[in-house]
Structures are given as structure tokens and as C-alpha cells.
Chains A and B, each alone.
Chain A
């Protein structure tokens, strides 16, 4: 038996006498140092002999590591533990997976739908200027929404918390040229009385498509497909004229009340319909403001609040709970 083999054999026998992990580590270091000394003598050997001895030393080095690891594992397993008897029927300690917020769960579904149609999901600032939040969207200086009672100002009148995610559209239109297809989900803020149905903070979902030959008929198709995706193929919707400053023509989209099937009940306030979103063709003033030629390009935009959707999906009746601490107990949508 040559020296390297002897080192290995001695190490294997000494290991069994060691009783702590630290002892094993120290012994391993000591023995590996001895092996390294053997490497130092290789330079004096003939090439063929050098290769043979070098391979032997490498093998022994790896075997020392393996033996040390096995002994370490044995020592770890031998440490005293509660419930020593092996009982596979005992419950495993829970390895819990977290849940996303229900609003995010809804957002994921919506994003997946619009991304399948080539829409990008974009983001924009929550601190906005009057220009991006109002001016560029054809909302004139005296529009009621601009007033302090509706807008939360950081510095009136120039700096505010965005009151709608339409402001993201103006950022995108300013820095990019058509064709554009974007959706912009996010928080918006309004200075509203806080109660069961209103909160100062809410989630909106905005969409925009601009290109040559974009028409209301496309908008109808996209929104109808979206409603069928979200509410089922048999959902009943209607499109009606409505005013929004940033679109012309503008339209409101209603869904037949799911509780009364359109016959009228307290949920839909006897209307039979629940307003679900607003939409329309991008106003020529908005396009012109962004340097887009209305005679060549057209576009549609749509926007909706998410909170009602989420509340309906989760069975929450108080909007304040949606963005409060108790939400982590509400099951995932």
C-alpha cells in the first residue's frame, strides 16, 4: 500500500471516531492538506508516472470529500429530534403558497386577453401634471373634474395624483407614433367621500388603439369579445351614446344585470343594466395635440373601473375592505 492509499484508509477509520461536525471539518482539512503535499512531489516524476500518480491523488481527494460528507450526514441525522419515531401519518408542517391580491388576479385575466390581441401592458406615473391628466385629454380648464373637490393636488393646479389612467395614454402618444395598442392598468385617485361604495383610491383599466383605418366597428368587436371572455359567451350587453371629453363619438357599455337578467332589481336600481365601461373614438383634439393627423389616423379608447368587478367576484360589499388589511384573508379569485 502506498502513502496516498494509507492516508485514505487512516482517514476512513478515524472518521468513525469523530462525534461532531466541527471535528469532521477539521479532520477533512488536515487530510486534504496532506494530499496536497503529495501533489508537490509530482514535479520530480517522469511524465507517465506523474500522470498516474496525479490521477490517483485526484481520486483520493474526491474520496476524502465523499467520506467526510457521508459522516457529516450521519452525525446530522443522529441529532436528537422531537417525535423520534417515524410516523408518516403526522401532518407535515405547512409549506404555504401566497396569494396575489384579487384585483391583480382580475388584472391578469384582462391582460392575458388584451395581450392576445397585440396590446402591450404599459405603466405610467401616479404623480401627474395638469397637462397629461387633463389638458392633453381635451378636458378644458373649467371642467368640473379639475376642481379641488375632485382632484387630489400636491401643488394646485399643476401637480396632482392622477385622477384616471387615461393619463398613461397621453404619455405613450407623446413618445411613440402609431400604430399603437396599449392597455394601462393602475391606481387612480379622486377626492371623493369615502363610504361603502366610494373610495379615494381605485383601480382603472384603460385601453387605446391607434392606427390607420381603426373604426368603431373594431371597438365594438374588441369590447364584445372582452365581455364574452370575462362574463361568459351568453352575457348580454348594450352600447349607447355617452359623453367623455377625450373621445368623440363616445359610448357607454352596459351589461344586463346578472341578478335580475334585465328585469330590474335593487342591485341595478331597477334599470336592468349595469354600466361596465366607457369608450369611444379618440377625440381629434387629443390626436392633434399629440401630433397625430386625424385625417390619416384614428383610434379607439376604453376605460373601466376594476373595483366593482373584483367586489362582485369576491363577494365584498364594502369597497374599503378591498384595499385594507383584511384582504389577505379573502380567497383568491
Chain B
């Protein structure tokens, strides 16, 4: 809101600017800019709170200045409206008045009025229009002036536009209307976009004659949407799209009439009304004075609080029980609750006068929501392995792969970019997309992200907390030191298992499940928890599809983070145990799979098992065709018994179940 200070000074005595502007900022009208005009006059730009449309006016700001500096505010002269109101038959939920003025004459506005309009930035159009603009900026109520000959006032009202109605606006643009647009119309058709802009066909062009002045209290959301739909932001729309006080409608017409009489001439008048005055709660709001201190920590005497409210236009009095009964002024649509009164008192008192009071420390509850801690743990593990964190788009950036056709992808109805409307079902594609932006590729490049992925489950969009990491191996040679082992599928699988183990999840490999793009079928696998739930995927990925040309080979892991559980917390708290170990070599046929053997060992040792790892695979000539030798290293709680004894216990079970031969034991 621009406020020429010379205009503001018409109504209230102004303190020096270095006092005025910080005070206005403090009470809620932040200084957004200050312009010095050639004549030395200053125009301030203030950021007005969304719930204070009464302050989108010079007079509204004068009221605020008066309250902030305890200065009297001069009232604006008003004229009487006709006592008889002709009610339109049209059914409208809006409240619109049409003041028909016959024999109106206005050659030009006074020099003073034109000057302040110019300072505001409002160009002169026609004396009647200039006067309506003056009243709008002075009081905050948009007015629109029609040539009386061009409208049928008896049938004029607001209504939704009809499909494909057109209107040529005052700016010369012709708009095609929809049923979502709000218009002022008479029996012949639309006359203007309600609360936004008038039409060419009904504009006033002369300085004398019959005119109709319209003032309306419209549904703000409809005005806002209509203005947005047609890309129109006008002085009127900025005000009409907020919750203006209905009482402004007659006051603005009275003011228009008073100024017309003062600077020109007005003949016979008639008032037409469509719709009815919106009801608002009447009666005072009762504030328990003690609540001011309870909520703010500052003591303000009850009489002082009452006086502050009175200075803001409230009718306030102290009532028994140290309470204040306050009736909001008619122009305030934002005050409905005692807390609103507290805010009024505090902002006039000044937030800077509220003391600092230390907040006593409070221990966190015993069952913390540890999503953040869980993600931090994963983050720290991946960083330690050399992965850099990225935070990428929530939408799929590249239309690569079969995502468009997948039945479980989630689309948004209104994409912010137009072309991206698929919420990512996986973190991997965007991580791979980022590879083509890499200006160089180290022998290996590691990226990870922790974020949400989105899926349709039973037709409902759901999100999953997900961690994913990609390892891209470049085509450039590695360092002089060639002894390092190149990472492969098993490297990433080990990483996935280690992270899941840290999360308290044991997984097994499932090679028969669907492998989603960009994981490569035949080179990737699904990871399942024992319950059968899919915990993620690991394997080689299709980086070529993303144009990641510097990449020779890439692997990825994607895992779905489980809700933090008691189990995980207990596991993290488990004290170190005294361990012992042994190796056990098993000669098995090709039907016996490693996960099956590991699972059986887990079942035998149960809580005493710490880890069981495959450490050697042998399939040499000395074995029969199809036979293989697996050596497992078993680490267990030594309270279970001596290694030889435990080895025999495990060996007996495995031998029996898998028809295996135990080839050796060692510690």
C-alpha cells in the first residue's frame, strides 16, 4: 500500500518520519520502501497484513497512526444517501449498491486531490472516475462509475458469468468468461468484472450527465480467482479480494456524494441494492485482563488496555472481574476472539517492550520420534563410505524408462512446471540424471539421497521414506595404485545389508521378483525382510539412458526406511558381548543355497549368534560335479560353549537338513 505522507497528514498529525516509520513497522505495517518525489514529498510503501483490508486506505492508516501516537483523527465529511432503497429482485450472495445520480457535473477535481492521486501513482482518466479512485484510495472501498444510459440499474446485480460470454474491458482487452468468473450484469449481459475492472461499453466519457456509482462487497475468493484467471491485478481487485467490511459500501457512496457536491454538482439520487448486507456477529468480545499477562508475560493495567482499544476505534469498557468488554469498530473484519484483542493491546504496547524470559529446560520424552536420528545414522554411514549427499527434485526430471506406463506412479493435478507431473517412485533416476552434469568424474563417483518416494497403493497415493545411493565408475584410469579391488555388485550388496543391519533389519535376496527400472534385470535383485516385505533393491543400473556418458558402469541401492522401532533402539543399546568364533566348511550340492544355510545357522544359535558370514567358496576339480564347498565364519556369544562343541551342534543340524558333508573345523 502506497501512502503519500502529505495525504495522510490531512487526517492526523504526523510525527517525524524517523519516529513514524519504525512505529508503523512495529505495529504491523512494515515499511517496504520510501520514495522522495521531486517536490520533496515522501510516499511510503507499506506491507499491509492480509487480514487488515481496512488499512488498504489512507484513512485506515490515519487511524493506525492516531492509535500509535495517541493523536486525534479527523473524520471525513459524508453526505446523506437516499432514505429509500430499491431492492433488486436478483438473487445474489454478494452485497452491491448502485447509486444513480442524475445531472451530475464535475469539470475536474481540485488541484490538491489530483496532486495526491498523482503522488499515489493513479493517472487521471475522467473527473468522475478520478473521484471514485480518490474515494477508493482514501477509504479502501472500490467504486465503479457507469454511464447511466448504458446499464439497466433495476436488473443490475452480481452473478457468475455464463460460459463464453465476452467482455471488452477498460484496458481494451476482450476476455472470454467462464462460469467461475464473477461479473456485474444486467438483463442485457455482463457490465464489468466484479470488483476488478469495468467494461468499455459502459464507461463514462463526459464530465456531466447521469451516472451510476457501484460499490460492492463481493466474495473475496471469487474476485481473487477471476482476477488471476484473466491476469488482472488492479487497485480494485487487490482490495475486493480481501474481506472488506460491508459497512464500507454505503460509507464510500456517501463520501463520493459529499465530494461531488463539494467540487461539482449532483442532482436527484436513487439507491438500488442487490443482495443483502452480510451478517456479522454483534455484541462485545469479553477479554479476561489476566490473559494478557498469561500469554505475553507483560503486565498492562486494565484501564490502559481498555484505552488502547478505544484509541483503535473499539467501544471498550472495564466490567466486573477485571474483564474488558470490547465491541470492534465496524471497519474491522479481523477481530473475533479475545486473543485478537490481546494482539491489539500488545502491538500498540510494542512487541519490543515484551521482556525476555528464559524457557525452563524440559527433558525430551521417553519415547522419542527418532526418524531424524535414524536418517542421520544412515547419512553418517554413507558419508563415511565416501558418498556425497544430494537433495533432488521430488518429480521425475527425465522422461526415461517405463514410469509413464506404470500403474503405481503418482501424478499431480497441477504441475508447477507443466512438464514434470510424475512424483518420483524411486530416488535413483534423478541421481543418475545428475551424473550428466558432472564436469568430471573421479575414478568413482558416489552420490546418495534420503527422501520420499511416492507410489499408488490400492489407488491411494502413499509415500515411503527412502535412502538410495549410486556408485558410478568412470572410464578414466584409476590412480597409480592398482591394487585396489574394483567395487562390484557384491560391494553394493554388502553396503545395503550393512545399512539395513544398522536399522535392525535382516534381509534375504529374492531373484524372482520384478526388478524396477533403472535396475538391470539379471544383474540386480530384490531385498526382502523375513516377513516377505520388500525392503529395497540392489544391482547394476541403466545409466546410459540418462546420458551419463562419462560413466562406464554404475551400481545402485535403494532401500525403504522402516519406522524406527523399539527393536532398533534396543539393538543400538545392546552392550558388547564376549564373543568366540569358528569356521565351518560344508560340502553341499547345487540345490543348497547360502541364505538357506545361513538362516538355519541363525535358527540353531538364535540370540547367541552375533554374525554368520560366507568367507570362502570352493568349486574346484577335487569336488564332484555340481558340488560346492562353502566356508562360513560364525561369531557367537561365548557363553554358549566352547567352539568345538558349538561347531558340532551346528554341523549336525546342517548335515542332517542339507545332506551336507562337514569338511573341517577350525578356530
Residues of chain A touching chain B, judged by Cβ–Cβ distance below 8 Å, are 22, 25-26, 29, 32-33, 36, 61-62, 65, 81-83, 90-101, 103-104, 108, 111, 115-123, 125-127, 141-142, 144, 147-149, 152-156, 159, 161, 179, 181, 185, 187, 189-192, 194, 200-201, 209, 211, 213-218, 220-222, 224, 238-243, 245, 248-252, 269-271, 281, 283-285, 294-295, 298, 322-329
Residue of B nearest to A252 (CB): B30
Contact across chains for B379 and A243 when beta carbons are under 8 A apart: no
Task: Name the prevailing secondary structure of the A interface residues.
Answer: mixed
Contact across chains for A122 and B297 when beta carbons are under 8 A apart: no
Known: A98-B385, A123-B369, A218-B357. A249 touches B294 (CB 8 A): no
Contact partner, A81, options B342, B343, B417, B483, Cβ 8 Å: B483
Show 6 residue pairs from A and B whose CB-CB distance is below 8 angstroms, ordered by the A residue.
A115-B364, A118-B364, A121-B369, A181-B362, A242-B30, A327-B391
Contacts of B454 in A (CB 8 A): 127
Scan B48-81; emit 1 where CB is below 8 A from any A CB, else 0. Answer: 0111100000000000000000000000000000
Interface residues of B in 616-654 (CB under 8 A from A): 616, 618, 620, 622
Contact across chains for A217 and B296 when beta carbons are under 8 A apart: yes
Interface contacts beyond A126-B452, A220-B356, A298-B294: sample of 4 additional A-B pairs, CB < 8 Å, sorted by A: A32-B664, A118-B361, A121-B373, A248-B340
Contacts of B361 in A (CB 8 A): 116-118
Known: A153-B413, A243-B52. A215 touches B357 (CB 8 A): yes
Asked if B228 is at the interface (CB within 8 A of a chain A CB), the reply is yes
Contacts of A149 in B (CB 8 A): 228
A93 CA / B486 CA spacing, docked (Å): 13
Residue of B nearest to A203 (CB): B391
Contact across chains for B368 and A25 when beta carbons are under 8 A apart: no
Contacts of B462 in A (CB 8 A): 127
Minimum Cβ distance to chain A for residue B632 (Å) = 15
Minimum Cβ distance to chain A for residue B311 (Å) = 15
Residues of chain B touching chain A, judged by Cβ–Cβ distance below 8 Å, are 25-28, 30-34, 49-52, 219-221, 224-225, 228, 241, 291, 294-298, 334, 337-340, 342-343, 346-347, 351-352, 354-359, 361-365, 368-369, 371-373, 376, 379, 382-394, 410-417, 423, 433-435, 437-439, 442, 446-448, 451-452, 454, 461-463, 478-484, 585, 616, 618, 620, 622, 663-667
Contact across chains for A281 and B295 when beta carbons are under 8 A apart: yes
Contact across chains for B391 and A101 when beta carbons are under 8 A apart: yes
Contacts of B28 in A (CB 8 A): 240-243
Contact partner, A241, options B221, B351, B417, Cβ 8 Å: B351
| Most chain B beta-carbon neighbours within 10 Å: one of A118, A142, A248, A294 | A248
4 tightest A-B CB contacts, nearest first = A217-B297, A325-B434, A241-B28, A249-B343
Contact across chains for B26 and A240 when beta carbons are under 8 A apart: yes
Contacts of B392 in A (CB 8 A): 323-325
Contacts of A152 in B (CB 8 A): 412, 414-416
Minimum Cβ distance to chain B for residue A269 (Å) = 7
Known: A97-B386, A217-B354, A242-B28. A194 touches B478 (CB 8 A): no
Residue of B nearest to A26 (CB): B622
Contact partner, B337, options A32, A111, A216, A248, Cβ 8 Å: A248
Contacts of B433 in A (CB 8 A): 325
Contact across chains for B585 and A220 when beta carbons are under 8 A apart: no
Contacts of B347 in A (CB 8 A): 241, 249
Minimum Cβ distance to chain A for residue B498 (Å) = 15
Contacts of B452 in A (CB 8 A): 126, 187
Minimum Cβ distance to chain A for residue B416 (Å) = 4
Contact across chains for A216 and B585 when beta carbons are under 8 A apart: no
Residue of B nearest to A218 (CB): B359
Contact across chains for B389 and A242 when beta carbons are under 8 A apart: no
Known: A127-B463, A240-B30. A100 touches B362 (CB 8 A): no
Contacts of B663 in A (CB 8 A): 29
Known: A93-B479, A191-B414, A221-B358. A239 touches B297 (CB 8 A): no
Contacts of B33 in A (CB 8 A): 269-271
Contact partner, B346, options A22, A249, A329, Cβ 8 Å: A249
Residue of A nearest to B381 (CB): A98
| Most chain B beta-carbon neighbours within 10 Å: one of A155, A215, A249 | A249
Contact across chains for A121 and B372 when beta carbons are under 8 A apart: yes
Residue of B nearest to A83 (CB): B480
Contacts of A271 in B (CB 8 A): 30-33
A25 CA / B616 CA spacing, docked (Å): 10
Contacts of A179 in B (CB 8 A): 362
A126 CA / B34 CA spacing, docked (Å): 40
